[in-house]
Amino acid sequence: GAVAYFGSAPSSYWVWDDTLQIGWFRPLFIEPTTTFIGGATQLGLYNVYEWGGTGAPWTTPQYYYEAYHVFGDPSMDLYTLEPTEFVVSYPDILPLGASSFTINVDTDSALVALYMDGILYGVAYSSGGQAVVELNPPPTQQGYMYITITKHNYATYEDSVLVVLPGNIEVEPDTIPVAQTTEVTVTITDTAGAPLQDVWVRINGWGVSVEGYTNSYGQVMLSIFPPYGEPLVLKGRRPGETFDVFTDTIWVIGATSFTAGYEVEVPEIGLTGSLTAYYAGDITITTSIYGFFAYARGVGIDTLVYYAGDEGVLTVIPTSYGTLRLAVADTGYEVITYEIPVIKVYGTIEGSVTDTAGNPIPEVVIRGYPHGCDTGLVDPVFTLISDNDGNFTLADSVAVDWYDIYIRHFGYNPFFDSIFVAYGGNFYTFELTPSLWGIVYGRVYEEGTDSSLAATISIYRVDNNELYTQTNSDPVTGNYSVSLPYFMYRFRVFAPQHIPVVREVTVSGDSINEDFKLPPTIGNILIVNDDNGTRGAKVKDGFSKYKFTYNDPSKVGESAQEMEAILVAEGFNVERVNSNATNLDDWWNYDLLIWCDGDDHDPLEASQYRDWLIDYVQAGGKLLIEGGEIGYDFDDDVEFARNVLHIVDWEADNAGPLVLESDMEDHPIVSTPYSVPSTISLDYDDWGDEDALVPTEDAYLVYHTTNYTNCAGILVYDNNPVPQSAQIVFYALNFVSISDSTMRHNLLANTVYYLLAEEPPPPSLIHGIASTCDAGREGIKVTLIPGGCTITDTSGRFAFPVYPGRYALCAAKEGYATVRVDTQVGEYDTVFIELMLAPYHTLYEFDFETSNGGFIPHGILWEWGTPTVGPSAAHSGERLWGTDLDDEWYDIENRWDGGNVKISTDGGTSWRILDTDPYYTGTASYGNAGIPNEPCFTGTDTTWHKVMCDLTPYAGDTVIIKFHFGSDYSITEAGWYIDDVAIKYAILTGVEETTPAITRFDLHVTNPVVDRIKLQYELPTKECVSITLYNVLGQQVGSMLHKLYEPGRYEYEVPIKLPAGVYFLRFKAGEYEAMHKLIVIR
């Protein structure tokens, strides 16, 4: 075998790539002169040389002659036609000590190789239908010799032959009469004539089965009565061996011949001519004699039946696939044998997944394994995922057989069952039992001192590594408690200036005690080096921004290495890794992440890195990010630029020394604990050393650039009003370009001390209850922005300690409209918020499997069908909409190509761009023919994403929605792909008022309401009463009351100052709840 990879070591331009590929194609297919990868590469390089070119270094033949390489075996042969199968035969054994071995091959010039135990014994080319392989050295050890046969445009042939000591075998007599007893003597000696003792000798046929062991003379005498005329197989095996050392034949003579025939069918499924496993098959046998035996052996069958007439039906049920051997015989007659194929037939699989109440469960992963296998060693035969209605369908059929079904879905007990897939259609219902809940509790404390720690406990599901919930330990006692459904979790416990602890915890009981001991450190820091030495030149013109790059190994990771040295000398605990060896889950084990791109001209090249950084900072992670090209490359990536870099635009390169902002003299980055001067000089080498970047309104400059005084420089983003520290610092420069080493040390040390400075605990609290209007409170994801998230238990309660400021609170659950509430929190405020989720109702939903969904393509790009390039599969099913098929998936040239979503309310005369969540990844260039300068999805993202557009402003309108893709004239990529489009709305409905006898509540109102309503309620016990108003989207628009009342009767008059519309009033007292609809007019 061989492995080879072809590519360009540095960056290559498409014109030169095409030139090389033409040089490959012509000698392979048009004027065939070579068939191996090394030869094609040399001819391709010659074509590059002939094409010529002058100018910049990256446009010369020498550059590309040195750029393109074959890594691996240059002799690897390439298919240029559909490969042909060899026809091969050879002896059953290869004798020990043989000097040659002959193999029959149906074509000349095929290369035959013999290989065993790491030794290539010989090769030969076939000629005249044979290849005689000279064995050098002759094999001296028994085993299996591997045979490999190759030829251009032939499929590789692979097999093995047994290498054994043949010895000398004498059989006396070697023919015996039928239906008579004969004594047969077998004598076995080695090649020197010495007898071989204890050889296990077997003689077998349809009517004979005898065995024995050779004595000291190498002989065994066996008494044989053969009822039928047939060749008996004689085999011998030496003691301790796993293979036979010889095979011979004893012929039974004197039997009478007769004729026979058979027909086979499987009536239940209409199969004829073959059998199949697990289904009863009928073999109808006819003979020219009266009275016969029928033998059937193989595929789980070993049976013998006698039939008195000249015809009989033998019914068999195979339990595996392969060949059934059938023999028809009678005493004194010859045996007639047949081989009947037992073929695979196939069945389809579909069904549903529900809970014990019959409710469908979406997104359940169903794995089917071969029955009885070790799932740790064997891959599943099929994997299914239930859709939003809990249904699943296997796109391909599977062989009829037994399969073991394994389901492990969060919130439910593990499920196992064995199913039989029958021929044709099969429908299964898998019922999952909701899991129980348990409490995990314990204490978080410091190693060595036993002091209690205020820690954040992040709890991840082991199955998908998703954050499930977070909680905090009490700063005084260190105690924590969290309620979780039975499952496997990974706990990550972090406290500032302590090394985090990660532990897997399985919740399988009512309560589990887990204490965490955290070692102290002045700072636990991860440095990620993303600088792989890419350097070059770039241009930004009226059409777009583009670069030419090359690789300089001497520059790899310069900034990261120096930062590590500085911080280790300061006493920090530092780990440095390359970006391709890290992931988001690792980052939470550190107090601070430092992302280094230095002078790299292709920073953050993988979109996954940018996604991770977005998730990291949105969850509150602390970040120092450094690089002189990051802003240039990603100012158009709106989500990354606004949320991580906190910039809105790139202005220039080489913007001069950094100058301290006038009001920043006392900023910790400048003053604590070291002094940093007001001007920072840079040794400017190339484009990657500095960017001038315009900050967002929520960030501020510490140092601006000389030539652009409104641009970073160095900027800071703080996610809370506490001044002691911040969340993000961005060095918009190559760190090692700072000319003075002492200045580099002081700036970095100050920045890290500042980012890790301890802040006072949050003095305020946002808490409340999240619930759905029809399905309780459990399993709702409540996210605080900025901040963390949690998943509600059956109480629906959530709580977030916060600093004063403005926050957004979002509640989400599959199948329900996400609710967002914005709130302002003051110092020492406790804000109570109730979040009510309404279920989605579907106006339009299509997965494009049975039709194109009514979409109308414009232009020549859009197609409906199954993709052959781009994504390996549709998001669901097989079909989708995509650009040139040869939630959203895109692989398009960054900025030059892109797509967005538009809406029209006037029949397509005018169009508006719809905002998406998440927002578009960039802006199309001026050179884009379809959507110039418009926000769009652009670049490469090879995973499906769920993207939402808010159509609330268009309620009541008749609209046309357009997926608009635009491109420039050059560089071909896979394109933009769309699947599973739905339009849904949510209204708070279906809430029934239930009035327990212990509580009375009356709403005195007649719809419509103009200015006020009157409420009366009676409390038999002391209760906390809350009255809350929601709009039709489930968003809280007012809280009229939240107060503790003594038992008694109360009246409450409420002024209504809401705009005209439909609202829902929710009354809650203890466990009692009621909801009423209000129609407000003005």
Alpha-helical (H) ranges within 713-855 are: 741-755
The neighbour count for residue 649, using CB atoms within 10 Å, is: 14
Which residues is 222 bridged to in the sheet?
Answer: 184
Compute the chain's Rg from CA coordinates: 39
- To which CATH superfamily is domain 524-756 assigned? Class I glutamine amidotransferase (GATase) domain (3.40.50.880)
> 358-432 has which fold?
Immunoglobulin-like (2.60.40)
Does the domain at 88-164 match CATH 3.30.160.20? Answer given as no
Token digits of residue 679: 């001007």
Residue 732 host element (H or E): none
How many CA atoms within 13 Å lie on the side-chain side of 172? Answer: 7
Q: Which amino acid is residue 1003, in one-letter code?
A: L
3-state secondary structure of 18: helix
Distance, in Å, from the CA atom of 1031 to the CA atom of 1064, rounded to the nearest integer, reads 6
Quickly list DSSP for 900-923. EEEEESSTTSS-EEPP-BSPPSEE
Cβ proximity of 669 and 752 under 8 Å:
no
CATH top class, domain 437-518: mainly beta
- pLDDT recorded at residue 13: 73
Q: Name the residue with tokens 């009767």.
A: 1049
Cβ proximity of 161 and 144 under 8 Å:
yes
- pLDDT recorded at residue 990: 39
Strand 1072-1080 versus strand 501-507 pairing type: unpaired
3-state secondary structure of 487: strand
Domain boundaries, the chain: 4-72, 88-164, 167-253, 260-343, 358-432, 437-518, 524-756, 764-837, 848-978
The pLDDT averaged over each successive group of 10 residues in the chain (1082 residues) is: 77 77 81 81 80 58 79 84 92 84 94 94 94 91 91 92 82 95 92 87 95 95 96 88 78 96 92 92 96 96 96 95 95 96 92 93 94 90 93 91 92 92 92 92 94 91 86 91 92 85 91 93 91 63 45 82 94 91 85 93 88 89 95 86 92 93 94 94 87 94 96 93 91 95 96 90 86 83 84 88 88 86 84 86 80 76 73 73 57 66 92 87 77 81 78 85 76 68 71 38 62 74 79 69 77 75 76 72 70
The neighbour count for residue 397, using CB atoms within 10 Å, is: 18
How many CA atoms within 13 Å lie on the side-chain side of 790? Answer: 27
Distance, in Å, from the CA atom of 505 to the CA atom of 486, rounded to the nearest integer, reads 10
Token digits of residue 310: 């000249």
Q: Name the residue with tokens 């140092």.
A: 703
- pLDDT recorded at residue 54: 54
569: which residues sit within 8 A by CB, 6+ positions away? none
Residue 176 host element (H or E): strand 175-177
From the list 351, 343, 324, 943, the residue with the least C-alpha distance to 607 is 943
Give yes or no on whether 88-164 and 524-756 have one common fold.
Answer: no
- pLDDT recorded at residue 998: 38
Strands of the sheet containing 292-298, edge to edge, are 275-276, 336-343, 322-329, 292-298, 301-307
CATH number for the domain whose boundaries are 167-253:
2.60.40.1930
Distance, in Å, from the CA atom of 47 to the CA atom of 453, rounded to the nearest integer, reads 69
Per-residue CA distances from 593 to 626, 638, 728, 735, 1001 (Å): 11, 22, 10, 16, 55
Per-residue CA distances from 47 to 10, 18, 999 (Å): 19, 10, 90
Residue 563 host element (H or E): helix 558-570
CATH number for the domain whose boundaries are 764-837:
2.60.40.1120
Distance, in Å, from the CA atom of 953 to the CA atom of 915, rounded to the nearest integer, reads 12
Q: How far is CA 362 from the centre of its chain?
A: 18
15: which residues sit within 8 A by CB, 6+ positions away? none
391: which residues sit within 8 A by CB, 6+ positions away? 350, 351, 352, 360
How many CA atoms within 13 Å lie on the side-chain side of 674? Answer: 15
Distance, in Å, from the CA atom of 1071 to the CA atom of 675, rounded to the nearest integer, reads 60
975: left (phi over 0), alpha (psi -120 to 50) or beta: left
Distance, in Å, from the CA atom of 257 to the CA atom of 255, rounded to the nearest integer, reads 7
Distance, in Å, from the CA atom of 521 to the CA atom of 501, rounded to the nearest integer, reads 13
685: left (phi over 0), alpha (psi -120 to 50) or beta: alpha
Token digits of residue 49: 């040389």
Cβ proximity of 763 and 785 under 8 Å:
no
Cβ proximity of 178 and 254 under 8 Å:
yes
DSSP 662: T
Alpha-helical (H) ranges within 220-259 are: none
Token digits of residue 975: 């394109």
- pLDDT recorded at residue 885: 58
Q: Which amino acid is residue 58, in one-letter code?
A: W
469: which residues sit within 8 A by CB, 6+ positions away? 459, 482, 484, 789, 790, 791
Residue 292 host element (H or E): strand 292-298
Strand 182-189 versus strand 168-172 pairing type: antiparallel
Max CA separation in the chain (angstroms)? 118
Distance, in Å, from the CA atom of 1076 to the CA atom of 992, rounded to the nearest integer, reads 9
Cβ proximity of 761 and 454 under 8 Å:
yes
Distance, in Å, from the CA atom of 157 to the CA atom of 558, rounded to the nearest integer, reads 51
Does the domain at 260-343 match CATH 3.40.47.10? Answer given as no
How many CA atoms within 13 Å lie on the side-chain side of 417? Answer: 12
